[in-house]
Amino acid sequence: MLSTGPSYLTMGNVTRMYSPVTLSAEWPTLGRLLFMVICSCLGTTINGFFVAAFFVERPLKRVGNVFLACVGLSDLIVTTAVMPISAVVLLSGEWDTLPVCHILQFLMQASTYSYSMFFGLVGLETYYRLCKTSGEYEAFMNMRIGLMSIMVFIIGFTTAGFGVYMHLDYDYCQRLHVGDFNFRCATSVILHGIPFLLAVYGLFCGLLRVRRRAREHVQYKRSQQFERDNSTTHLNLIAYLFYVIAWIPYLVVVNEFPTTSDNKYYQSAWIAVCRSVLTSFLYSSLNRNFRHAFAHLFYYCCCKSTLGGSFNSRHRRALEYKPATGDVRVHIMHQAVNMSTPQRAASSSRETQEL
C-alpha cells in the first residue's frame, strides 16, 4: 500500500527528507507517483510524435532536419528512462540506492550534453541554409550528417559516464562534493558554451535573413517557403531559450548556493527535467507542418490499422493533379521568374534534399 505520510530517508550516512529521485517525502506518495507517470506517458508520446513527424510529413523530410530530430531523441531519453525509473523506485517503497541514482544522473547528463550539442548544430545548419550560398550549404550537408549525429551521442554519453562514475562532476545523489573544477569548466565550455554561441548566433542570423528577404522580395514573403523558414526558425529559437531558462535555477543554486537545502536543490533540478515534457508542445501547437504530422500520427495510432493510405493518398492526389492547358504557360513563366535569382534557386535545391 502506498504511504501518504512523511518519513525520514537515509542514503549512505546522510539522513534527509528529500529524495534526489522521488522528490520530497513530505508530499503524498500517490501524488508523486501520478505526477511521474503522467509526465512520462505524456512526454514519451509527444516526443515520439515529434521524432516521427520528420518521417511522415513531406516538408519536414530534409536532411538538415536530422539534427532537430536528434534533439527530440535527447528529450526522449528523459521521458522514457529517467521518469519511468523514478516512478518504479517510488512504487517499490525503497529509498533510492546509489547505483540507481547514479544511473539516472548519468542518463540525464548524457541527454543534456547531447541536447546542447545538437541545438548548436541546428543553429549552424540554419545559418548555412539561410545565410550562405547553395554551394556552401551543400558542402556543409555533405559532411556525413548521420555520422556526426552518432558522434554527438557517443561524446555525450562518454562524458556523462566519466563525470558521474569517476566523481568528476557534481555529486547529485549525496551532495558530498562538487566534482573536479577543471572537468566542470571543460564540459561547460565545450559542450554547453560553444553550442550556445552557435545556436543563438545561427538562429538569430537566420531569422534576420528571413525578414530581410521578405522585405526585398515580395514573392518570397507570399510563398510557403517563407512561412516554413520563419516559423521553424522562430520555434527553434524559442525552444532553445526555453531550455536555457529551465536550467538557470539549477545553475544558480549549484554555483552560488552550494550548501542550500535539499528542497531547493532538487526542485531546481526537476524544473529542468520536466522541461523535456513541454518543449515538443511548442512545435505541435505553433507550426502547421508539425500539427499536420501529429494529427496524422494520432489518427493512425487511434483510428487506422495502416499508415500508408492516409499519407500516400494525400501525396498521390497532389502528384496526379494537372493544371488546365491554359495555365501551363503561366505556371512555367512563374517558375522561371522564381528561379532567376540565386536565392530562389538555392532554396529549391535545398528543398530536394530529403531524409
Give pTM, 2 decimals.
0.82
CA 268 – CA 252 distance, rounded (Å)? 9
DSSP 18: E
Average pLDDT over residues 302-322: 51
Distance CA 38, CA 273 (A): 14
Pairwise CA distance, residues 279 & 42, whole Å: 12
pLDDT for the residue numbered 271: 92
Between 34 and 17, whose confidence is greater? Answer: 34
Give the pLDDT band of residue 339 (cuts 50, 70, 90).
very low
pLDDT > 90 in the chain, percent? 51
Residue 164 has pLDDT above 50, yes or no: yes
Mean pLDDT computed over 140-146: 87
The predicted pLDDT at position 259 comes to 85
What mean pLDDT is reported for the chain?
Answer: 83
The CA distance from 132 to 130, in Å, is: 6
**Is residue 154 very low, low, confident or very high in pLDDT (cuts 50, 70, 90)?**
very high
Mean local confidence (pLDDT), 23-49: 91
Alpha carbons 158 and 114: distance in angstroms, whole number: 11
Give 257's contacts (C-beta < 8 A, 6+ positions apart): 264
Residue 343 confidence (pLDDT) above 80: no
Higher-pLDDT residue of 196 and 344 is: 196
**For residue 113, pLDDT beyond 60:** yes
pLDDT at 128 over 80: yes
Q: Is a pLDDT exceeding 80 seen at residue 76?
A: yes
Task: Note the pLDDT of residue 240.
Answer: 96
**Average pLDDT estimate for 50-68:** 90
The CA distance from 26 to 268, in Å, is: 17
| pLDDT tens sequence across 256-311 | 888 888 889 999 999 999 999 988 888 988 888 898 899 888 888 777 655 454 44
CB atoms within 10 A of CB 344: 19
Task: Specify the pLDDT at position 19.
Answer: 85
- Judged against a pLDDT cut of 60, whether residue 239 lies above it is answered with yes
Q: Regarding predicted confidence, which is higher, 327 or 107?
A: 107
What pLDDT, on the 0 to 100 scale, is given for residue 333? Answer: 43
C-alpha 23/C-alpha 346 separation (Å) is 52
pLDDT bucket at 38, cuts 50 / 70 / 90: very high
pLDDT band at 1 (very low <50, low <70, confident <90, very high): very low
Name which of 231, 312, 193 is nearest 68 in CA terms.
Answer: 231
CA-to-CA dists, residue 44 to 12, 155, 157, 276, 343, angstroms: 33, 24, 20, 9, 39
- Its sign, for the CA torsion 49, 50, 54, 57, is positive
326 confidence band (pLDDT: 50, 70, 90): very low
Quick check: 342 pLDDT over 70? no
| Half-sphere CA count of 303, side-chain side, radius 13 A | 7
Alpha-carbon distance 218 to 147, whole Å?
Answer: 39
9 and 16 Cβ atoms separated by less than 8 Å:
yes
Mind listing the pLDDT tens digit for each residue in 171-204?
999 888 888 999 999 999 999 999 999 999 999 9
pLDDT at 337: 43
The answer to whether the CB of 32 falls within 8 A of the CB of 90 is yes
CATH placement of domain 24-305+324-351: 1.20.1070.10
What's the CA gap between 196 and 310, in Å, rounded?
39
Helix (H, G, I), strand (E, B) or coil at 310: helix
Q: Is the pLDDT of residue 40 over 60?
A: yes
Nearest-10 Cα torsion for 335, 341, 342, 346:
-30
Matching residue, cell 512526454: 43
The pLDDT value recorded for residue 345 is 46
CA distance 136 to 138: 5
Mean pLDDT value across residues 49-70:
90
HSE, CB side, 13 Å, CA atoms: give it for residue 35.
Answer: 15
Of all residues in the chain, what percent are helix, strand and coil, respectively (each to 5)?
A: 75, 5, 20
Q: What 3-state DSSP class applies to 326? A: helix
The answer to whether 123 touches 198, Cβ cutoff 8 Å, is yes
